[in-house]
Chain A
Amino acid sequence: MTAGTPLLSVEELVVRFRTHEGTIHAVNGVTFQLEEGERLGLVGESGCGKSVTNLAMMRLLPQPAGRIEGGHVMFDAQDLTKLREDELRSIRGRDIAMIFQDPMTSLNPVLTVEEQMIETIMAHREISRDTARARAIELLTMVGIPQPEGRLKSFPHQFSGGMRQRVMIAMALSLEPKLMIADEPTTALDVTIQAQVLELLRGLTEQSGTALILITHDLGVVAGMTNRINVMYAGYIVESATTLDLFAAPSHPYTVGLLRSIPRLDAQAGDPLVPIEGRPPDMRHKPTACPFAARCRWRLDVCWQENPPLRPTIEGTPIVLTGPGATHQIACFNPPTVEEQVAGRPMRAGFVTAPPPAGTVDEVGAGRIGSTDDLEGMIGDIQSEEGPISLAPSAGALPLPPEPEHHTDGFLHDD
């Protein structure tokens, strides 16, 4: 691969929050690397640790609760976890720029865009005010803000959401950073505006060779934007692959679940949704077993006891962490087969989802594999309270799940 060290190397990062409610195990040993100019997607649902990973890298964790309790973040041969605050400040903004979901919170409402942009540029560069101003105009033009000279005098609230995000991108790019971290940059925007902003982000980073980490819950967004993807769950990377590999063969049950639970625009008519039952785990307990086990239809007995490490999908493959040849890795003892990846549920003859050990929540309802009905959620809930056997505290009140396929007919204009 590329000679020398990667631009960014996160090694076994552990982040915990000490709160009144107990310790939150937000990030539990995350390792990944990034080459210059690479675009990496960090995908997962709220609370999976994707944003915390980002904040920890930049040492911007909410204080005093959030703490890096292990690991290193190597950037440009420096360990960001060990730098002094003033050394970090010169890296933030200049070498690593960030944009957030809500640009309004990261722009100062009482200063004009001009003042903020010039201030940012002059804080890191020894240039005159006029040069800085010219640079600001150039940047605003680049991100497609009409009449940039005039708009410089505007306050943040005078821009629409999409325009504000463009201003943020312009400010982030103003110092030609080596790495840009975008945390859900388009979640608050409408789809057509999202398209504008993503297009811009991709074009500009491609042009300048800036590496990008795109943090999002939307697998659709990363599909067209990134080279590689890390899927996170409960503070772990559960699947890591190039974008092409990941979508061609999603190999962790959680990734498969995510892909099968969103309706696709181009779906063939009649594809029913296969939800992931249950809910994300309580992060107050550091998982000792696979964190996804309670919601997983593929789980084996061992999944209730051991936490699978991240390892290559094809055993024995050397591990490459970056570039187009990055190894496809998953943290799973029993990955879905190719047909199962498509179907979203286990299809092997005779396979039974391992029942939960006593005292654990079963979100799937072992033995009911394959049913697409959401009632499983309820059964899981009830089992969680009463134990798996006594399903019927008031059995009369519980309508039994109808045949899985039958009720979907009416919705899916199949020809």
Chain B
Amino acid sequence: MALELNETLQNTIDGLSDKFTDKLIEVYQSTGDTFVRIESDALVDVGNYLKDDHHFVFLTDIAGTDRYTSDERFEVIYNLVCLKHQTRLLLKVRCDEEDPELMTVSTVWPSANWMEREVYDMYGVRFKGHPDLRRIFLPEDFDYFPLRKEFPLLGIEGSIELPNTTPDTD
């Protein structure tokens, strides 16, 4: 499918394919948004490049997804905004089901701190080099990652072990 890119995105994609030829996996569009998927080991370099050379200074959101039953099960999507040219770019990386780990981008965009904690909390994807990798919503004593597809929506009492929430009992 032919891509319809504006000038900024075209420059960015050209720059990326020049500089990171081996690392760029795919560029595609869906409902008007542009997605770029890269190799996970080049994440920080690409991040720095996008921030320094193409003004993608504003990281608004990080979303994790569970591609259940596919290879490279977890996908993390970085929602980047170029304020100078009013453009949005979604950067994707994937990681394996076994021991999912990615490099942190909180060194590039400090706002990634809490957003990565949220991905960790929900999917169990760990971020190497993260300054404070704790769960953000759920307590540390909770052993599961609830947004993984195998986690049930409805609980059956006693089916999984949950941390104690009443102060007076053990």
Q: Do A and B come from one complex?
A: no
